[in-house]
Chains A and B, each alone.
Chain A
Amino acid sequence: MRIRNTGRRQEGVSLMMTPMIDIVFQLLAFFVMTFKVFSPEGDFNIRMPSAAPVAAKKTDDILMLPSLKVRLTADAQGRLTGVYLGENRMNNAAPFEELRRRIIQIVGDDAGPGSAEDSEIELDCDYNLRFEYAIDAITAVSGKIQQGEIIKLIDKIRFAPPRAS
């Protein structure tokens, strides 16, 4: 019986690296070209049930939900000229800070019956008002940051019907 020659020198299997490196670099180029840095975005929920929300509401709901009205006025250029909570005008130096303070006084910031969670706020803005001021008002009434944590205030926010331009 012939014994197979095992002492023969094995030929090295050559791995073709070039195609792999090509495709790796093409992938890299694709990701580098399509990479975009986005700042994180958040959303504020707005509850607007229907075009005629008041008619659809139950009487109980109206009694249970203390509805607050925030009015924002603007000049012709859309700059903020006044912030009102009900009939009270906020201090012009820091209107949204005062708005938040008053909201906390009215509804509190603890969870539970009769607290901020049950309240609803209506934003009544001048047509020309720049939207950033409306977001400032929504921010002021919807919460505050305390020691890095968000303390929720009023969650139910809606817009009043648009005013004439």
Chain B
Amino acid sequence: MRIGERHQASAVELDMTPMIDMAFQLISFFLFALNFAGADMDERIRLPISELAKPPEAPFESPITLQLNQRGLVFFAGEEMAIPTLRSALRREREFLQYRGGDPAKATVIIRADARAKTGVVQELIKMCQETGFEKFAVAAKQQQGT
């Protein structure tokens, strides 16, 4: 029986260039698609839908985001709290704003309220903000698909 001639195993060269190209293209895509504004968006809140909801043309001045869930609890500064306990947190926010030289009357309170929340609770929230010195408000809605 003839034993096969042993060939010297030649190194298989893998062409890495297309893979690196693709990896860089993917990184570029994710970098451009990175949405920093999404940090304020809480997925637990199901926003109401509106055909006129368009992202603002200019960013709000000193925005303060309050997230109101269906049960009437507010997420603010990483904490979940009932509306009566929010007052002290809002006062601290106002004082911090004033310390930085800002004007609470010019700050915009963005209210991201759940579609199923009670309107009366939203009104109470606005009233509390008014009593704390905030005057400008914006209520958030999700953009209707297809508009």
**Chain A residues with a Cβ under 8 A of chain B:** 17, 20-21, 24-25, 27-28, 31-32, 34-36, 38-51, 72, 78, 125-136, 138-139, 142-143, 145, 150, 159-163, 165
- Given A131-B113, A143-B52: A45 and B137 interface contact (C-beta under 8 Å): yes
- Given A131-B48, A145-B51: A32 and B30 interface contact (C-beta under 8 Å): yes
- In the assembled complex, the Cα of A143 lies from the Cα of B55 at a distance in Å of 15
Q: How distant is B134 from chain A, measured CB to nearest CB, in Å?
A: 9
Q: How distant is A68 from chain B, measured CB to nearest CB, in Å?
A: 18
Q: List 23 A-B contacts (CB under 8 A).
A: A21-B16, A24-B24, A35-B34, A38-B38, A42-B143, A43-B60, A44-B52, A44-B141, A45-B137, A46-B138, A46-B139, A72-B119, A126-B119, A130-B115, A130-B119, A131-B48, A131-B114, A131-B122, A133-B119, A135-B49, A136-B50, A139-B51, A145-B52
Give the chain A neighbours of B135 by CB distance below 8 A: 47-50
Q: Which residue of A lies closest to B117 (CB)?
A: A131
Contact among B24, B51, B56, B117 for A130, CB-based, below 8 A? B117
- Given A45-B138, A46-B138, A145-B51: A161 and B30 interface contact (C-beta under 8 Å): no
**Chain B residues with a Cβ under 8 A of chain A:** 16, 19-20, 23-24, 26-27, 30-31, 33-35, 37-38, 41, 47-56, 60, 110, 113-124, 126-127, 130-131, 135-143, 145, 147
- In the assembled complex, the Cα of A133 lies from the Cα of B45 at a distance in Å of 16
- Given A21-B16, A25-B23, A131-B114: A46 and B140 interface contact (C-beta under 8 Å): no
Q: Are A139 and B120 in contact (CB under 8 A)?
A: no
Q: How distant is A132 from chain B, measured CB to nearest CB, in Å?
A: 4
From A41, A45, A125, name the one whose CB has the most chain B CB atoms within 10 angstroms.
A41
- In the assembled complex, the Cα of A138 lies from the Cα of B20 at a distance in Å of 51
Q: Are B38 and A36 in contact (CB under 8 A)?
A: yes
Q: How distant is B126 from chain A, measured CB to nearest CB, in Å?
A: 6
Give the chain B neighbours of A49 by CB distance below 8 A: 135
Q: Are A78 and B118 in contact (CB under 8 A)?
A: yes
Q: Are B33 and A35 in contact (CB under 8 A)?
A: yes
Q: Are A31 and B34 in contact (CB under 8 A)?
A: yes
Give the chain A neighbours of B47 by CB distance below 8 A: 41
Q: How distant is A101 from chain B, measured CB to nearest CB, in Å?
A: 16
Give the chain A neighbours of B113 by CB distance below 8 A: 131
Contact among A20, A25, A31, A50 for B130, CB-based, below 8 A? A50
Q: How distant is A109 from chain B, measured CB to nearest CB, in Å?
A: 13
User: Besides A45-B136, A51-B127, 15 other CB < 8 A contacts?
Assistant: A24-B27, A31-B30, A42-B52, A43-B53, A43-B56, A48-B137, A51-B131, A72-B119, A130-B116, A134-B122, A135-B49, A139-B141, A142-B52, A145-B147, A161-B127
